[in-house]
Amino acid sequence: MEVVPAENVQSVVSGNRIVDIDFFIKQTKKLHLHDSTCIMGRKQFQKELKNGVTSVLYYHCDNCEKTITLSFHPKEAKINFDFVWGSTAIGIGKGQAEELFSVCLSPSPRFYRKLENDVERVWEMQHQSETKKVADEERKLAIEVGDIDISL
Ligand SMILES: [Zn+2]
């Protein structure tokens, strides 16, 4: 994970991100809810914690000293895996994916490699499952036409 301190982002968030828009809009309601209960507080953007193509924004309230976090994706989302899966599916590696998504953030080389391994493992499991399904179907058809002696 990479932390972008507030001084490096000029106290406001800028640039492009990949977000689950419905989820993120709901997340921003946390700031409005805080405003309605802590009317004297001023919220200051603190940092962005990046995790691959997703991030969490941290705001600090100078009145109640609470930190409010806004996530771009639900915790259970597998956006980084999906990013690598999509890149692999179209036949591009990390370098090309970075170029394609140069307006957004992409995972670090080490994290990307881990995600590639995850994709490879799932891909292989799906391939084996499909291969077994085809083999079972061929066996069933062969038995039906009498090409296989099942008495052995
Ligand atoms: Zn507050």
Q: pLDDT value at position 147?
A: 77
Closest listed residue to residue 15, CA positions, set 126, 104, 145: 104
Q: Could you tell me if 2 and 61 lie in one domain?
A: yes
CA of 77 to the centre of ligand 1 (A): 29
Number of domains the chain is built from: 2
CA of 72 to the centre of ligand 1 (A): 22
CA of 136 to the centre of ligand 1 (A): 62
Q: Tell me the sheet residues that pair with 70.
A: 57
- CA distances 74 to 19, 55, 60, 70, Å, are 10, 11, 21, 10
CA of 45 to the centre of ligand 1 (A): 13
CA of 22 to the centre of ligand 1 (A): 25
Please state, as a whole number, how many other Cβ atoms lie within 10 Å of the Cβ of residue 57: 22
Q: Could you tell me if 72 and 98 lie in one domain?
A: no
pTM of the prediction? 0.68
| Residue ranges of the chain with per-residue pLDDT less than 70 | 1-12, 103-107, 149-152
Is 54 part of any domain? yes
